Structure 1
Amino acid sequence: MNQPLVAILSGAGISTDSGIPDYRGPDGLWRRDPDAEKLVTYEYYMGDPEIRRRSWRMRRETGALRAEPNAAHLAVAELERSGVPVRVITQNVDGLHQLAGMPARKVLELHGTAREFVCTGCHVRGPMEDALARVDAGEDDPPCLRCGGILKPATVMFGEHLDPVVLGEALAVTKACQVFIAVGSTLQVHPAAGLAGVAADQGARLIVVNAEPTPYDDRADEVVREPIGTALPELLRNLR
C-alpha cells in the first residue's frame, strides 16, 4: 500500500525557536516597529537609498543567516528520511528546512530565500554572504557587480508577486496530499493561507499547529496549541 503524501505548510512560528522573530504575532516585528515594514516593501526599497541602507544594516545585524535548525525542522527532515513522502511548502525565507536535511527539491519556498541576493536589473543571483561581506567592507548599498543595478534579497517583498511556478507546484502538492499540516502560520497571508482550505476541500486530513487561533481552525481535523518545538516532533512520530 502506498504511503500517504504529507504536505507541511510552515510559517514564521516554526523558526522562532531558532531565534528568528515572527512578524505578525503578539510580539512580532511589524507590531513593535511598523516602520520596519518599509524595509521589505518593494516600492520604498527601490525608491529610497536610505531605506536600502537601513535594510542592509538590518540584514547584517539580525544575523539570520547564522540561525540553526531547531527540533521542529529536524523532525520534518527525519520524517522524510523515514520513507514517508513529504513536501514542505514554506512561507519562511530562512532556508532552515534545507539546513535540517530536507532535500531542496522537496521544499517550495513561496516567499523566496534570504540566503541569496538578486539584481533587480540583470537578475543575476549570488550568495547573500557575498553581498554582506561588501557591506562589512564599507559599501552601505552595494550595487550589482555585473550591471550596476540595485541588489535586493531573493525574497518576495511586499508589492511583489509570488513566483507562479512555485505557487503552482504548491497547489499541486496540496491537492495530491492526504495529510496537510499547517505549522507556525497565522493562515492569514494569502495565497499561502488558502492552501489549508484547498487541502480540506480535497479531503485531506487538516492539522493546525499554532499558538494563536487561525481562520481555518474550524475546518481542521485536529488543532494543536502546544509549543511547536515539542508538539510537532511528537505529531510526526505518531504519523510514522
Structure 2
Amino acid sequence: MQDETNDAIDELHALLDRAAAIVGFTGAGISTESGVPDFRTPGSPWMVNKPIPFQAFTASREARIEAWRRKFAMDDHYRGAGPNRGHRALARLIAQGRSPGLITQNIDGLHQASGIPDDRIVELHGNGTYATCLNCGWRHELDAIRPAFEATGEPPACTMCAGPVKSATISFGQAMPQAQMHKAHALTLQADLFLVVGSSLMVFPAATFPLIAKRSGAKLVIVNREPTELDPVADLVVRAEIGEVLGRLAE
C-alpha cells in the first residue's frame, strides 16, 4: 500500500511539473495538520459548537448571542494555528508563477498567513478572522468585539450604522457571495491542472468547480484521506496525509 501511495505521489509531482496553470481548491483537510478541526471527524468540536443558521441569526438576539459564544469557543480550539506544509506548497506554486491562484472553502485565514496575497485567494465561504455589518458591510475586528461581548453578553452592533455584526463567514442559509463565485469560475477556466486538496467535495455549489475544470479540459487531481464522489472522474487520486504528499513542494 505504501508503494502505491509513493507511486501516486510521484505521479502527482510529474503532473505538476508539466502543468502551466495549477489552480488549487482546498477544504478543511488541508488545515487539520495545523490543529484546525474539520467538520466530519467523530468528536469534532464543531459538533458541539455548530454554526447558527443565518435566518436564526438575523431573527433573534438570543441566537446572535449564542452564535458569538460558539464562534469564540471554536477560535479557542485552534488559537495559534499556523500554515503547514500544504499551505506553504500552494503558496510556493503561486510565488513561482505556476499557479494563478486558489479557491478555498476554508475560513481560517491560513492561506493568507502562508504568504498568498488576498487577490490570489477566492474565499467561497468567507473568512472567520474578522466580522462585518450585515447592513452596511463595515469591517469589524475580533480583537475589539470579543472583550466587549464577554463583558456585557450583548451581541455586537455596528459602530457606523448600529446594524447586526456577524463573523465574515457564509452561514447555512446565507446566500453565496456572487462576486467570489464568479471569480472562482473564471479561475477554474484558467486551469490546466485542477488540484483538490483536503476537500470531501460534499458541499455545493463549491464542489461543482472540479467538474467544471475537468469538463474544460484540465487534469483533475484529488488529494484527500477519504474517498470523494468525484474520485471516479479524477485523473489521479492520492489518499494520504497532505503534508506527506505536498511536502517536497513546501521545502
| TM value normalised by structure 1 | 0.88
Match runs of 1:147-158 below 5 Å:
147-158=161-172
Backbone CA RMSD of aligned residues: 2.1
Indicate if the aligned counterparts of 1:180 and 1:206 stay in contact, CA closer than 8 A: yes
What SS is found at the alignment partner of 1:88?
strand
Query: 2:225 pairs with 183, 187, 211, which one?
Result: 211
Q: Of 61, 66, 76, which residue of structure 2 is paired with 1:49?
A: 61
Deviations, residues 44-98 of structure 1 (Å, cap 9, x unaligned): 2122323222222222233346321111111111222223134110001111101
2:209 aligns with one of 164, 172, 195: 195
Runs of at least 5 residues in structure 2 that lack an aligned partner in the other structure: 1-17
User: Which amino acid in structure 2 is aligned with residue 13 of structure 1?
Assistant: G
For residues 176 and 139 of structure 1, what CA distance do their matches in structure 2 show?
A: 47
2:72 match: 60
| Alignment check: 8 A CA contact 2:91 2:116 kept | yes
Judging changes above 3 Å, is the alpha-carbon distance between structure 1 residues 65 and 29 closer, same or farther for their aligned structure 2 residues? closer
Alignment counterpart, residue 13 of structure 1, candidates 9, 12, 29: 29
Q: Which moved more, 1:14-23 or 1:178-187?
A: 14-23
Q: In structure 2, what is the equivalent of residue 162 of structure 1? A: 176
Which SS does the other structure have where 2:205 is aligned? coil
Q: Is contact 1:186–1:213 with CA below 8 Å preserved after alignment?
A: yes
Percentage of identical aligned residues? 36
Other-structure match for 1:91: 105
CA deviation digits over 1:170-224, x for unaligned, max 9? Answer: 1111112101011111111111101111111111111101111111101111111
Q: 1:101 aligns with which of 89, 92, 115?
A: 115
Structure-2 separation of matches of 1:103 and 1:187 = 25
Task: Name the stretch that deviates more: 125-134 or 157-166.
Answer: 125-134
Contact 1:114 1:128 in 2 (8 A): no
> Structure 1: which 5+ residue stretches go unaligned?
none
Kindly tell me the number of residue pairs found equivalent between the two proteins.
Answer: 232
